[in-house]
Amino acid sequence: MRHFLTLFLVCYSLNPLFSQENNDSLITIRGTVIDTTTSVGFYNMMVVNKTAGKGIFGDYHGTFEITVNKNDLVAVSVVGYQTVNLSFKNKPYQPVYEVTIYLKMLAYSSDEVIVTPYKTLEELQEERANIAKREVPTVTLENAFTSPITALYMAFSKREQTKRLVAEMGMLISSMMSYVKFSDYMCIMKSSV
């Protein structure tokens, strides 16, 4: 019986399913991520264990170190570059894997975009003039008695204060525009004389 137990323990330790070559063994991945065009490391890199849903950020020089299970899928990504997936599932077991990853920049292309104005300058000037002409309600004694809540809202709300300010600015701008038109007219008359 004693020999049988010894034989069983020897076979158990040699079996790859139960030894350290098991895919559930912890491994450490140390790596450097480099840009293919400039050969410089990335400071804003993220390394994510997709299987566990956890991740780390790389250091300033573009290096990282993460401990994962051997069968986990690890993704290395940088904004604007392609994502690289690492898997050591079918590799022979090592406690530490050293990797160097070269990332390529993603290329974006789009069709030509033509921007057209929604309104012409004349339409905008007309709207601005209409703002100055718009009647801004004021709080009167009659308003206060018929609807006290509305009167308080009109007196103290930021929105109503903004409306009053816009109306005042519109009147000021329209008066300035008429002055500018008048002064342009005067300049034309002086130059023709």
User: What average pLDDT does the segment 122-148 reach?
Assistant: 72
Residue 193's pLDDT is 47
pLDDT tier at 69 (50, 70, 90 boundaries)?
very high
Residue 49's pLDDT is 93
- Which pTM value belongs to this model? 0.47
pLDDT tens per residue across span 148-165: 777 777 777 777 778 778
pLDDT tier at 186 (50, 70, 90 boundaries)?
very low
Tokens of 170: 């519109």
Residue 112's pLDDT is 86
| Residue 171 host element (H or E) | helix 158-192
Asked if 44 and 78 count as a contact pair (C-beta separation under 8 A), the reply is yes
User: Which residue in this structure is represented by tokens 């920049």?
Assistant: 105
| Residue 10 host element (H or E) | helix 2-14
Tokens of 109: 């292309």
pLDDT tens per residue across span 137-152: 666 666 666 777 777 7
Question: Quick check: 66 pLDDT over 60?
Answer: yes
> 3-class DSSP state for residue 6?
helix
Question: Quick check: 51 pLDDT over 80?
Answer: yes
Q: Bridge partners of 34?
A: 41, 102
Could you tell me the CA-to-CA distances from 174 to 72, 120, 171 in Å, in that order?
Answer: 69, 18, 5
In this structure, which topology does domain 2-103 adopt according to CATH?
Answer: Immunoglobulin-like (2.60.40)
Q: Bridge partners of 75?
A: 48, 85
